[in-house]
Each structure stands twice: as structure tokens, then as C-alpha cells.
């Protein structure tokens, strides 16, 4: 099977080559990008010699997940500008990044494969106006970099406005498989990451997964076949247990599996960040991946052993992070492709992500014409949970300002639900999740209990050139997603938690106790 993938044989997934035959560039991307490292190093030296203090990455989903993972895993580098990732349209989040920087001393990276991603385009308008307000229009382009495919609206805009650089990514690499291309490497390099080392690790793993390697010795094939086979046996909630040094890597696993495999009523549900439970509280729909790094994690390691002793399948992957970061990226890319062949799904498209984008645009059009947004499916958490069946999972879709306090509140709610109902739980911040797990929620099996949470958005921020601001945009995204889930026959409830959403989540957790 691996050899056929390397030959570009799209029939291992589907007879139709659409978005298959032209989506396999990730297989050789590490080697190709290794040849371009010198270009990135020139950019890094140029930026370090300037007075720039921040690099702000504007994008969604696969366009930013890789860069964030690399930067978080490696940490800030002395002498490099600070990397801030903005993949949200919520007004408090946009305001926090805006207030944290001096536009005249900031480099902005607009990253979008399609070049017309609504969120990225809106954020670009906002920060372009900020730069123009502090410098002449002629100089504004020097504060911007574009990463996109050839011929996209973003590429055209970048040339017209004379962006500092335009990085044209290989067009045969899809968004979530673009970690080891310009999308992941340019921002990470500017933040001080050793991208040569990242790519060298990826090349080693690519060789280990090569066409001449027997399946029994191929680490990507072994992993992909194992998690897909377990899913076919009913263990489709892949729960990730990770050492602290592996935590930045986990969202990559989530997106590759959820967006790549959650379609045609099939899928693997990645469970990340769930509070640790007693083995008896995990149902028979669970499989576990234990990412065992070099950092001490006695509680995680002990739970993995107890789960294995209790009869749960536990796959342990030993990795030395961040040294093995590139290798792990590649391993999971290959594994998700192999899992697609086992499950019989096309891992490189995202049809329900596209449908959610269309609904958002339709809602914004309606708002422009009427000044109002349609209502959403209302209800309560108890009513939603009353429909729970064995093998279901609760998805907290939090279109809320991200904070440690919100993380803790959602963790308490997840733990309470898991202990009371013995179902798996996920928690995602929106609108980010629309470009990741959103595909699984709508296109995967009807096992999700979807709770869309909104609130705490504060004052709106206008979007230059648009009749609506970021608050309306975010609200349209949340409502559009709830609408799409309901139209598909999935169970969904939307709750507005008001001005203090953290307290609202805490109350929900207390009611579950």
C-alpha cells in the first residue's frame, strides 16, 4: 500500500482522482524544502538586522497550526522577534494582539492556500489599516509577507501592494499537509527555529516510510493501519496521552485525523487535552496513543500502564522533542494517509469545511441586507446530554476568548460529563475548529453532541471596507456552524453565556456534579 501511495496511485483511496492525484506533494516536501533553506535563512538575517519586534501570523487551520507547533515546541530564541499567531475573529482576541504590538515594528504574515480565506482576508484588512495609520501607504507593504499558492487572490494582492515577500507554496500540497512547507517553515524560522533540523528529521522519517520499506517496518504505515483498524473495531475515540514536551504537537494530530478522515459518515475522533480519568471510566470505544517524550510525566505514564493492564489498546510512541519534531510531523502525515486507505475515505479534501464557509458568507449577506442574523438551535446542556448513547462524545465548541481560566472551566465540565456518562469529550476554540475538527463534526459519524458556546465578546471592531465588524463575522461563523450541524441531522445546542462565559461554564460543570 505504501509503495502505491509513493507512486501517486489515487485508487488506493478513491477511483476519482479529484483532489488526490494533485495532493501528494507532501511526500517529498521535506527534500524539496531542504533545498530552499538558504532562502529562509537570508530572510531571518534580514529581519534580525531590522528593528522589528513582532511577527504576527494571520491564518486559519493548516496554514498556521504547523508554525505554532514548531515555535511552541522550540520556544523563543534570543535575538528573534516574538511570534504571535492570530487565528481567530473574536473581537477580544483581535484586540489583544492589536494592543500587544507596534504596527511600525511588526512583520505580518498572511497565510492562505486558497488566497481567499475570509478570516485571513478580514484580519489582513485590519492590520493593513493599522500599518497605514503609522506610516505612508507606500511603505506599508514592507511590513507584510504572503504565503499562498500561485495565482490566488492573495498572491495578486501581495504583488499589487508590494508586500515584502511572496512565498508561493507547492500547489500539490494541501493545507493540513503543509507543515513542512513555507506555511510552517517561514514563520517558525523567523521565530528562531532551526528549520534545517526540522527538515532533516522529516527526511529521515520519509526514508523510513519509503516505497522500498516493508509494511512491518514502516513506522507511518504501522501507526495508520493500527488506529484505523481499531476504529473499525469500534474504538474510534483516539485518546492522546502526552508528556509535557509533546503537548505543542498534539493539535497537528487532531487536525490530520479529524479533518482528513471525518467524512462519508466515517472517522476517527481525536480526544486531546481530556482530564485524566480512572481506567474504569473509559468506555470500550477508546484507543490510546501515548506520546512519551523526554520530559517527566509520571501521572501520564502511570495511566498508560494501568490502561494497558485493564485491556485497553495503548500505542506508545517514544520521541525526543523538539529534536524529533519534523520526524513526528511526517510520521502522522503518512499515518493519516494510510488510515484513509483502511477506512475507505479520501484524506485530502474537506467538503464540509467548504460548506461551512458558504453558510457563513450567506449569513453575512443576510446581515448586510437586513441588519440581523438568523437564530440558532437553542436548548440546554441537560437536554443535549439526555440523547447520549454508548459511543457518543460531547464536543464543546467554544467561540469564546481563549484563556487559562476558560481552559480550566472547560476541563472541569469535561471531567464531570465523562465521569457521569462515560462518554468521551472534546473542547475546541472557535472559529479555529471550523478549519479542523469542524469537518469531522459534520461529515463524520453521527456520534457527536455539539454544544456551541458564545459570549464575552465585548465591543465590536470594524473591518475596513465591510458593512460588518469582527463580532458579526464571528457570530455568523458560530451560527452558520450550528445551522450546518442541524441541517445534517446532528445533535446541537447553542448557549450564549453572556459577559462572563467562564463563570457560565463553571455553573454547567456544577450542575453535572
Output phi, psi for 175, to 5 deg.
-55, -55
CATH for 351-512 (2.60.40.420, 3.40.1800.10, 3.40.50.10490, 3.90.550.10): 3.40.50.10490
Q: Is 217 exposed, middle or buried (0-12, 13-18, 19+ CB in 10 A)?
A: exposed
Q: How high is the pLDDT of residue 5?
A: 80
In the chain, % helix, strand, coil (3-state, to 5) comes to: 50, 15, 35
Query: Which residues does 283 contact at the CB level (< 8 Å), separation at least 6?
Result: 237, 390, 391, 422, 423, 424
Q: Is 38 exposed, middle or buried (0-12, 13-18, 19+ CB in 10 A)?
A: exposed
Query: Which residues does 122 contact at the CB level (< 8 Å), separation at least 6?
Result: 89, 463, 466, 470, 473
CATH code for the domain defined by 212-343: 3.40.50.10490
8 A C-beta contact, residue 275 and residue 419: no
Return the CA Rg of the chain.
22
Q: How high is the pLDDT of residue 269?
A: 98
Query: Which residues does 99 contact at the CB level (< 8 Å), separation at least 6?
Result: none
* Domain ranges, ordered by start, for the chain: 36-193, 212-343, 351-512
Q: What is the largest CA-CA distance in the chain?
A: 66
Fold of 36-193: Rossmann fold (3.40.50)
Q: Do domains 212-343 and 351-512 have the same CATH topology?
A: yes
- Measuring CA to CA, how many Å separate 408 from each of 37, 384, 427? 40, 22, 11
Question: How far apart are alpha carbons 513 and 508 in whole angstroms?
Answer: 9
Question: Which grid coordinates belong to 78?
Answer: 534570543
Weakly modelled stretches of the chain, pLDDT under 50? none
Query: Which residues does 340 contact at the CB level (< 8 Å), separation at least 6?
Result: 13, 228, 260, 261, 346, 347
DSSP 8-state code for residue 350 = -
Q: How high is the pLDDT of residue 16?
A: 77
256-279 pLDDT tens trace: 999 999 999 999 999 999 999 999
Output phi, psi for 168, to 5 deg.
-95, 115
Pairing of strands 448-454, 491-496: parallel
Amino acid at each position: 500500500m505504501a509503495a502505491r501511495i509513493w507512486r501517486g496511485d489515487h485508487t488506493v483511496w478513491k477511483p476519482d482522482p479529484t483532489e488526490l492525484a494533485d495532493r501528494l506533494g507532501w511526500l517529498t516536501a521535506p527534500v524539496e524544502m531542504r533545498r530552499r533553506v538558504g532562502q529562509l535563512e537570508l530572510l531571518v538575517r534580514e529581519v534580525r538586522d531590522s528593528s522589528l519586534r513582532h511577527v504576527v501570523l494571520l491564518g486559519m487551520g493548516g496554514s498556521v497550526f504547523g508554525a505554532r507547533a514548531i515555535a511552541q515546541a522550540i520556544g523563543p530564541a534570543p535575538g528573534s522577534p516574538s511570534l504571535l499567531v492570530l487565528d481567530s475573529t473574536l473581537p477580544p482576541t483581535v484586540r489583544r494582539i492589536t494592543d500587544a504590538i507596534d504596527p511600525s515594528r511588526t512583520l505580518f504574515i498572511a497565510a492562505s492556500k486558497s488566497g481567499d480565506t475570509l478570516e485571513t482576508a478580514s484580519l489582513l484588512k485590519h492590520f493593513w489599516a493599522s500599518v497605514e495609520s503609522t506610516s505612508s501607504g507606500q511603505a506599508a507593504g514592507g511590513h507584510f509577507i504572503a504565503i499562498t499558492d500561485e495565482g490566488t487572490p492573495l498572491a495578486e494582492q501581495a504583488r499589487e501592494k508590494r508586500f515584502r515577500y511572496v512565498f508561493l507554496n507547492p500547489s500539490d500540497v494541501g493545507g493540513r499537509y503543509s507543515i513542512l512547507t513555507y506555511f510552517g517553515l517561514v514563520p517558525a524560522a523567523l521565530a528562531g527555529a532551526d528549520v534545517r533540523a526540522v527538515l532533516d528529521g522529516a527526511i529521515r522519517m520519509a526514508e523510513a516510510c519509503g516505497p522500498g520499506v516493508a509494511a512491518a517496518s514502516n513506522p507511518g504505515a504501522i501507526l495508520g493501519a493500527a488506529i484505523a483498524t481499531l476504529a473499525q473495531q469500534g474504538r474510534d475515540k483516539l485518546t492522546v496521552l502526552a508528556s509535557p514536551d509533546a503537548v505543542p504537537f498534539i493539535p497537528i494530530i487532531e487536525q490530520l485525523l479529524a479533518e482528513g478522515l471525518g467524512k462519508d459518515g466515517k472517522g476517527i475522533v481525536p480526544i486531546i487535552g481530556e482530564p485524566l480519568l480512572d481506567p474504569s471510566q473509559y468506555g470500550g470505544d477508546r484507543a490510546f496513543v501515548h506520546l512519551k517524550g523526554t520530559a517527566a510525566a509520571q501521572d501520564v505514564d502511570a495511566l498508560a500502564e494501568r490502561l494497558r493492564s485493564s485491556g485497553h489498546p495503548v500505542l506508545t510512541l517514544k520521541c525526543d522533542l523538539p529534536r524529533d519534531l519534523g520526524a513526528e510531523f511526517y510520521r502522522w502525515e503518512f499515518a493519516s494517509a494510510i488510515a484513509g486507505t483502511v477506512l475507505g475515505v479520501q484524506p485530502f479534501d474537506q467538503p464540509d469545511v467548504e460548506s461551512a464557509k458558504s453558510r457563513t458568507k450567506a449569513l453575512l449577506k443576510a446581515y448586510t441586507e437586513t441588519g440581523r442574523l438568523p437564530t440558532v438551535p437553542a436548548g440546554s446542556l441537560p437536554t443535549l446530554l439526555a440523547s447520549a448513547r454508548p459511543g457518543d462524545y460531547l464536543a464543546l465548541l467554544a467561540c469564546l476568548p481563549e484563556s487559562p481560566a476558560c481552559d480550566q472551566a472547560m476541563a472541569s465540565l469535561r471531567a464531570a460529563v465523562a465521569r457521569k456518562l462515560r462518554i468521551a469529550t472534546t473542547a475546541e476554540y472557535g472559529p479555529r475548529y471550523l478549519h479542523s475538527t469542524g469537518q469531522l463534526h459534520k461529515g463524520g459519524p453521527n456520534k457527536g453532541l455539539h454544544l456551541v458556546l458564545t459570549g464575552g465578546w465585548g465591543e465590536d471592531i470594524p473591518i475596513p471596507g465591510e458593512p460588518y465588524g469582527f463580532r458579526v463575522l464571528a457570530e455568523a461563523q458560530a451560527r452558520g456552524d450550528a445551522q450546518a450541524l442541524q441541517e445534517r441531522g446532528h445533535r446541537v445546542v447553542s448557549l450564549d453565556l453572556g459577559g462572563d462565559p467562564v463563570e457560565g461554564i463553571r455553573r454547567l460543570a456544577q450542575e453535572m456534579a
